Amino acid sequence: MTITNSILEISQIIEGKLFAPPDFSDWRIEKIVTDSRTYFGGKNALFFALVGPRNNGHHFIPELIKKGVTAFIVSEKKFITGDAAFILVKNTTSALQKLAAFHRARFQYPVVGITGSNGKTIVKEWLHEILSGQLKIIRSPKSYNSQTGVPLSVLLMDNNYNLAIFEAGISQPGEMAKLQPIIKPEVGILTNIGDAHQENFKSKKQKLLEKLQLFKSAKQLVFNIDNELVGKEAQHFCSENSIKPVSWSLKNNNALLKFKHQAVGGKSNLSVVYNDEKFEFTVPFADESSIENACHCFVATLLLAKNARETLNVYTRLAPLAMRLEIKKGVNNCLLINDYYNSDLTSFSIALSVLHQQSKKGHLNKLVILSDIQQTGIPPKKLYRQINQLLAQWQINEIVGIGPEITAHSNEFTLPKSFYPATENFIKHRYKNQFSNAVILIKGARSFTFEKIAALLQQKAHQTVLEIDLNALVNNLNVFRSLLRPETKIMVMVKAFSYGTGDVEIAQLLQYQNVDSLAVAVADEGVELRNAGIQTPIIVMNPEQHSFQNIIDYRLEPNIYGEEVLLNFKKAVSENALNNYPVHLKIDTGMNRLGFKTRQEIKTIVSEISSGSQLRIKSVFSHLAASDNPDFDTFTQEQFNCFDILSEKITRAFPYKIDRHILNSAGIERFPEKQYEMVRLGIGLYGISATGLPLQNISTFKSSVSQVKKVSPGETIGYGRKGKIDRESEIAIVPVGYADGLDRKLSNGTGQARVNGQRVPITGTICMDMLMLDVTGKNVSAGDEVEFFGPHLSVSEVAEKAGTIPYEILTGISQRVKRVYLFE
């Protein structure tokens, strides 16, 4: 952050009360911290103790004082001590917003504000790429568009820049009024208005009117008039607030700019006339949303660029998914974090935090491959000195610099280092077998083509992948957290390879998100997580006697479901001379699987555990049989009643607190009044809802077309000649089969895939390693991407067509399928 005010000045800006020794009043702040996990040193830091529905930043103050932070913004007076400077405010989030609004008012250069339901981040990133050749731009990092993300973005403004681009997102009424004075844009861009975050608004109109509040003091507003609601309300809003409407259309509607569009082989040629001057440009997309986003960017460029015509060649290079980090397995037990779309100081800092998050996985080294950092406005010597400081703070072991500028400033780096003038030099001289047991951040501007380095270091796998959206997973976790009391604990099920999504990667993220415990099926899964650096409590749901020593050695916690398991595990604990070892007791309330069922069984286990000091009951739990089905609600209530009776006999028999839990994902949604002290989150985390919660898809199973061939009427497709052709057809062959986890029941037209934005049927019988799609008339070519489930084909729909449940589809994806983790 670029704040340079004294602690006394900041207390006045945010209207807080300062508690500090006299010599602290002139102490100047240089860094704002809001997440204790991302602070690893640095001078003059100020921590905002933000309070959310699940986390309270005040609890991390002692830890941060030990790390050297000596200034805090707090809203709870009891945390104020004599060990640091404190500013007491009513609300720490509001204080952060006040500070950002004050900071924003210091600068006179133009600010662009972007909001909408979809497309905010991509428009911001594309606009940055289009304009960065003519302007020095500061923009929101990644998708920092929330009530805390916006002020953190605005606090990055300084005099090195001459344009700012910030995005703003809201999820409920009243939020935009808080963000507007922080961004206070001169130019506004209103992107697509869709169903995202609709649950807290009465209508799309209400949501649109809320979003428009961002622009109430703007001079110009860019919007697409083709949407009738947007066109009407945006025009009215501009008229009421003396804003110049800069409307555009792709459908020849009455707008200031009318685009003409022609799709050619997956690309789109666009032309428009503005002030009697014709502009033509091409974007490498054919889908409607990308074309709309590109038009927004072009119109904004007309308003902002020194010379809009000079930017036209940039449109051909625009890339999708601009804000995604990819986490992949690399050669020689390496882990790769690919972020080679752009390279700037802020996104580099964020990428380092992801590297740190992923580094506790048995990797010995943290290594960064970094290109020249471009268009920062910071003098190179100062810039690379700051980079070196960041590397030191995050305890990076080695830096590899690529590019003429970073090489020229190699003396600014104090850690082990090597430098190359270009990517080709690195590939030629630094062989992949020189990297092992490392987590490697590959971070570079697009012009350096770092995807070549990623391909060199990536563990080889065939082109079929399962993409895991980690941001969507965090969203789903927070949706369920919003249904719970703040004190209710969450156990997350990561058994069965985290429902097919990958065990260690998911567990690492959940640990970072401070879930209370993880649950695995067998001890081996828990051992793997411990070996990867997972410290969160891990419960083993199906402990086997031969694994008891591993359970003890790796601090795993067994589910005790029967008397024999109890006696044998108690004996194992005794042989290890341990006391108070945590265990979890399973009660059978009607599922008729594992668990103690009768009062006599409960009496026996209570007596056995009480007779010694070896074991300590950490929780008692049961499992609902049909919580997702309203037809069985009477039976579910009987399970609750049984659980209340039997669990009470256990909890009352011991002098210490014992947690209780019975709710699974569907139970959390439908019976939140029965959350007790803990809940167990499983399939809901992965995007499947029983009641229509606003969960996000986290998994996309996709591949690409290997070949397209023409087939004549009368010919057949695949084994058993099941795919019968009755017309001239085009058949695409895709390297996905039942060995990858695609159910054979989806053969012969039952299942579908999506290619080139269109659904097509699976034809013929699915083979072990490939299948065939009927793509007749769809303009499909070899190399085109194919989706089997994901954002456009839900797992639930695929499961229904296959006659099964989403669990089986997700857990059935073979481990030979490469998992790619996306992180914004």
Buried b / exposed e across 255-289, counting CB within 10 Å, b at 16+?
bebbbebeeeeeebebebeeeeeebebbbebbeee
Contact between 688 and 806 (Cβ < 8 Å): yes
What are the backbone angles phi and psi of residue 628, rounded to the nearest 5°? -85, -5
- Torsion over CA of 757, 761, 765 and 771, rounded to 10 degrees? -10
378 with 362: CB under 8 angstroms? no
In one-letter notation, the amino acid at residue 306 is K
Burial of 38 (0-12, 13-18, 19+ CB in 10 A): middle
* Residue that has been written with the tokens 């568009």 in this structure: 145
CB 20 within 8 A of CB 7: yes
β-bridge partners, 74: 88
How does strand 723-724 pair with strand 538-540? Answer: unpaired
Task: Please answer whether residues 510 and 474 qualify as being in contact, where contact means their C-beta atoms are separated by less than 8 angstroms.
Answer: no
Q: Given 77, 428, 571, 719, which residue is catalytic? A: 719
DSSP state of 459: P
Reply yes or no on whether 719 is catalytic: yes
Measured distance CA(535)–CA(533) in Å, rounded: 6
Closest CA to 84 of 57, 65, 97, 59: 65
How many angstroms separate the Cα of 227 from the Cα of each of 199, 230, 255, 297, 310?
A: 21, 5, 12, 18, 30
Kindly compute the dihedral angle of the four CA atoms of residues 280, 282, 288, 289, in this order, to the nearest 10 degrees.
Answer: -100
Angle in degrees, CA 443, 447, 451, rounded to 5: 55
Residue 589 in tokens? 């309330």
Name residue 59's amino acid. Answer: H
* Active-site residue, from 258, 495, 586, 702: 495
Residue type, 585: L
Distance CA 322, CA 125 (A): 7
Give the separation between CA 583 and CA 18, rounded to whole angstroms: 47
> Which of 306, 278, 311 lies closest to 294 in space, CA to CA?
311
Host H or E run for residue 353 = helix 345-358
| 180 CB neighbour count, 10 Å cutoff | 21
Identify the H or E element spanning 733: strand 729-734
593 marked ligand binding residue? yes
Q: What are phi and psi of 804, to 5 degrees?
A: -140, -160
Neighbours of 306 (CB within 10 A): 10
Name the packing angle between helices 204-212 and 228-240 (round to 10°): 40
Q: Give the side-chain half-sphere CA count within 13 A for 321.
A: 12
678 by Cβ neighbours in 10 Å (0-12 / 13-18 / 19+) ranks as buried
Is residue 653 within 8 Å of 678, Cβ to Cβ? no
The kind and range of the H/E element at 823 are strand 818-823
Cα–Cα distance between 75 and 84 in angstroms, integer?
15
Which amino acid makes up residue 411?
N
Helix (H) or strand (E) segment spanning residue 87 = strand 85-88
Cβ atoms 391, 373 nearer than 8 A:
no
Active site residue 258: no
768 annotated ligand-binding residue:
yes
Task: Provide the annotated active-site residues.
Answer: 495, 719
Residues at the annotated binding site for substrate?
593, 768
Q: Binding site residues, as ranges?
A: 593, 768
